[in-house]
Amino acid sequence: MKNLASPPKMAPLLAVLAFTGTLCTSPILAQSASPGPTPAGTLSLVGEGRVTGTPDVAVIRTGVVTLGKTARDALTANTAAMEKLFALLHRSGIKYEDIQTSDFSVQPQYDYSNQRNSDGYTPPPRIAGYQVSNNVAVKIRETEALGRILDQLVSAGSNQINSVSFSISDPAPLQAEARRAAMADAIAKARLYADAAGVQLGNIISITEGSPTPPPLPQPDMIVARMAAEAAPVPVAAGRLETVRQVSVVWQLIQK
């Protein structure tokens, strides 16, 4: 009886073809995938924004210094003078919450002798009297009245005016504008540096605001708040205040 030949085995051939196909198609797939951008490091810059505004609040630091043979005498005289000052401020429309005691002191006043005793020593100083000082910080919300109030304070008995400072009651809008200007400054610098270096700006990695700047001094372009001569003989220069903000920005750089 004749044996029938078994059909040829196909599994090894299919495995070879599959492996060959993989070798042929892999380079084609690799070439079709477009390469992504090549990182080229980072760029860190600081931007600064400066805006100015007109002050609308003034703070006067004023008070009275009195002398007396005793501490009680000096305090009594000082109390009477300060009561006149408070009455004047209230008549001028200053609210109670806008007046704050900033300093109060009672100090002995010494008499120093140039004489020497029989042993050649200078005798110790003796108390000749007492000094009482009472100072307040007064917030003026209408700066156009500042000159008139200063004149009235002196007329009412204030013999100590330490300083006058200016501020802006609502600094938030100016701060926001300064922040926008700082960011715009940082972006402009970054574009310039990237173009000069032949790279492209990528995504922003971080944004950090700098520390707040100290209160600035009035700028030279002062606005003089001068009252009529008969109402306010004291000329007052409110000036303009500058708000400054800084921001540090880090970009990813991409090779062109």
CB 171 within 8 A of CB 91: no
Whole-prediction pTM: 0.65
Tens digit of pLDDT at every position of the chain (256 positions): 444 444 444 444 434 334 334 434 444 333 434 455 556 799 999 999 999 999 999 999 999 999 999 999 999 999 999 999 999 999 999 999 999 999 999 999 999 877 777 777 777 888 999 999 999 999 999 998 999 999 999 999 999 999 999 999 999 999 999 999 999 999 999 999 999 999 999 999 999 998 765 554 444 333 333 333 334 457 778 888 999 999 999 999 999 8
Going from the C-alpha of 164 to that of each of 60, 72, 77, 169, the distances in angstroms are 5, 31, 25, 16
Q: In what order do the strands lie in the sheet with 241-255?
A: 39-53, 241-255, 199-209
Residue written as token pair 């305090």? 75
SS3 176: helix
Domains observed in the chain: 39-54+171-255 (3.30.110.170), 57-108+125-167 (3.30.70.2970)
Q: How far apart are CA 24 and CA 26, in angstroms?
A: 6
Other Cβ atoms less than 10 A from the Cβ of 149: the count is 23
